[in-house]
């Protein structure tokens, strides 16, 4: 009935709008008369123009516009696929293949495998999701080997492949993708087909319990990478030291993110890759799996800080600590410490004990290390000219004690310090005044001081003569936690009940 109704309202087409009779029949038969109405494979533009609109003019526009027929979702009925293949002309295709648990063998072969093989050289963007249940029956590697092995994906620029399978097997399929620029992989690297992509510049890879030895061979396949982002839900761990033949050189790399590996795995990973100094690096380091291992977060980070000028340490809400290093050229090294319970920046002094040329240090944490740790850390940074500290009142006083430390045959920490930013930090005015006077009397006067109005226990007028520039800023709006919001709401509710 639907087909007849559509037929009565369609005006005859002539000239540029005339259409091939066989294609019209395929369209009418499948879309309108089959009862399937499987138009969700089409782009939303075509759905509107063909299904809801009965205008012959716009219908002809849609049919004559090849660009509207380039979005393909498989599995798809063979007749509809033939229609889309013809309508799209020679345009590049965007193909989406979401394989659920209920996809039968016939659909895999006729409605996915065969269409993929036919248009492999026309696909510009390909996304495949292979469900866990389907992986138990057939791996995506085996499926692709059976249907597209030998096909060259000539135009493919982005490939997104997700298969969450834990089956151990070797790679049997080779996918040739000479134009591929971006590759997104999710799942065990051992279950994925081998991808030959000499032009690949952007790699995103995610799985769990991976080790350095899982990642190195993957990176070795793509030596021209510019951006690499690795997400490891939790780190794997090698109980025995094993030699690895993989030492990838990524000479074009501009950014690298690795989240997360435990300490020994992260050390092994960075020891076996070669990247330019200009590459920006982010590494998230987990607690070591073996409690007896005498290795620390500083063992990974310390040897890498020598060429950086600025260090910023921030205690995050999740109980982790971020160490961010910046060079004058703009290179960034960002390391997230998840190796210990949130305490008092215990890794700080160990990290800066390594050779460094730091001129700026910022500490943003509720609790700072002990006086001895602070003193040792600051003595390890003789080139520092600026310190920013945002902490609690007692911890700030302890930092001043460290900067004022006098020990036989040892120099006063940070002799070049000329700028102190303690904004958003409460302080005792007389203690800060005593510190400034001490530095002045030792020929180490500060030039700049930054504080927050109202954060001193008394007037700060006495500080002004001791420095060249005293900048006072207004307090930042305090963030209200969820617990405080709930407490206030509960209090209002109780008051209303009374």
Beta-strand pair 123-130/93-99? parallel
Whose tokens are 């007037």? That residue is 459
Poorest-confidence range of 184-188, 222-226, 447-451? Answer: 184-188
Supply the pLDDT for residue 167. 64
Poorest-confidence range of 20-29, 75-84, 318-327, 394-403? Answer: 20-29
For 199, 213, 248, 269, 454, the CA distances from 272, given in Å and listed in that order, are 23, 10, 7, 5, 52
In angstroms, the CA 49 to CA 69 distance is: 12
3-class SS of residue 296: coil
Greater confidence (257 vs 21) lies with 257
Q: Is the peptide bond before 449 cis (omega within 30 degrees of 0)?
A: no
The domain segmentation of the chain, as residue ranges, is 1-91, 296-498
Ranked by mean pLDDT, the top range of 33-42, 103-112, 167-176, 373-382 is 373-382
Nearest to residue 266, comparing CAs of 291, 248, 280, 286?
286
Mean pLDDT of 450-475: 96
Supply the pLDDT for residue 103. 74
Question: For helices 429-441 and 393-403, what crossing angle results, to 10°?
Answer: 10
Q: What is the pLDDT of residues 146-176, one digit of tens each?
A: 999 889 999 999 999 999 766 666 677 999 9
Q: What is the pLDDT of residues 6-64, one digit of tens each?
A: 333 333 344 434 444 444 444 444 444 333 334 444 554 454 445 445 566 656 666 66
Nearest to residue 200, comparing CAs of 270, 153, 241?
153
How sure is the predictor about 484, in pLDDT bands with cuts at 50, 70 and 90? Answer: low
Q: Record the tokens describing residue 248, joined without a space.
A: 């990838």
Supply the pLDDT for residue 33. 38
Supply the pLDDT for residue 134. 79
Q: What is the pLDDT of residues 200-239, one digit of tens each?
A: 999 999 999 999 999 999 999 999 999 999 999 999 988 7
* Average pLDDT for the chain: 85
Q: What is the pLDDT of residues 335-367, one digit of tens each?
A: 999 987 655 688 999 999 999 999 999 999 999
Supply the pLDDT for residue 1. 39
Supply the pLDDT for residue 496. 66
The listed CATH number (3.80.10, 3.40.50, 2.40.160, 1.10.530) that belongs to domain 296-498: 3.80.10
Which pTM does this prediction carry? Answer: 0.83
């Amino acid at each position: 009935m639907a087909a007849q109704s559509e037929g009565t309202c369609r005006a005859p087409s002539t000239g540029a709008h005339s259409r091939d009779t066989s294609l019209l029949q395929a369209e009418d038969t499948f879309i309108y008369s089959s009862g399937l109405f499987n138009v969700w494979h089409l782009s939303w533009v075509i759905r509107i123009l063909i299904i809801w609109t009965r205008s012959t003019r716009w219908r002809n526009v849609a049919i004559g516009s090849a660009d509207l027929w380039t979005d393909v979702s498989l599995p798809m009925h063979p007749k509809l696929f033939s229609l889309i293949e013809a309508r799209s002309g020679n345009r590049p295709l965007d193909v989406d293949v979401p394989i659920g648990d209920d996809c039968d063998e016939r659909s895999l072969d006729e409605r996915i495998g065969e269409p993929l093989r036919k248009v492999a050289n026309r696909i510009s963007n390909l996304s495949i999701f292979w469900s866990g249940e389907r992986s138990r029956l057939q791996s995506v590697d085996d499926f692709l080997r059976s249907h597209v092995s030998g096909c060259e994906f000539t135009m493919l620029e982005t490939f997104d492949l997700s298969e969450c399978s834990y089956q151990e097997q070797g790679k049997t399929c080779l996918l040739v993708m000479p134009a591929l620029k971006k590759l997104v992989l999710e799942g065990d690297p051992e279950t994925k087909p081998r991808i030959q992509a000499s032009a690949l510049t952007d790699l995103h890879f995610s799985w769990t319990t991976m080790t350095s030895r899982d990642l190195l061979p993957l990176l070795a396949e793509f030596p021209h990478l510019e951006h690499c982002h690795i997400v490891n839900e939790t780190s794997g761990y090698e109980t025995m030291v094993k030699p690895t033949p993989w030492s990838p050189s990524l000479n074009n790399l501009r950014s690298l993110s690795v989240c997360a590996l435990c300490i020994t795995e992260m050390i092994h990973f960075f020891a076996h890759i070669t990247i330019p100094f200009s590459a920006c690096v982010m590494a998230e380091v987990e607690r070591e799996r073996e409690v007896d291992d005498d290795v620390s977060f500083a063992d990974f980070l310390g040897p890498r800080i020598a060429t950086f000028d600025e260090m910023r340490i921030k205690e995050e809400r999740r109980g982790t600590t971020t160490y961010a290093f910046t060079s004058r050229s703009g290179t960034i090294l960002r390391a997230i410490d998840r190796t210990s319970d949130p305490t008092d920046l215990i890794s700080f002094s160990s990290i800066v004990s390594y050779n460094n040329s730091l001129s700026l240090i910022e500490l943003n944490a509720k609790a700072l290390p002990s006086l001895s740790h602070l003193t040792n850390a600051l003595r390890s940074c003789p080139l520092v000219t600026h310190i920013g500290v945002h902490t609690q009142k007692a911890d700030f006083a302890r930092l001043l004690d460290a900067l004022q430390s006098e020990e036989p045959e040892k120099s006063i920490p940070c002799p070049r310090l000329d700028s102190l930013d303690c904004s958003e930090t409460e302080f005792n005015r007389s203690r800060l005044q005593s510190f400034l006077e001490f530095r002045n009397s030792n020929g180490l006067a500060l030039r700049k001081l930054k504080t927050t109005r109202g954060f001193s226990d008394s007037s700060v007028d006495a500080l002004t003569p001791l420095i060249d520039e005293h900048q006072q800023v207004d307090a930042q709006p305090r963030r209200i936690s969820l617990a405080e919001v709930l407490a206030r709401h509960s209090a209002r509710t109780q008051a209303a009940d009374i």
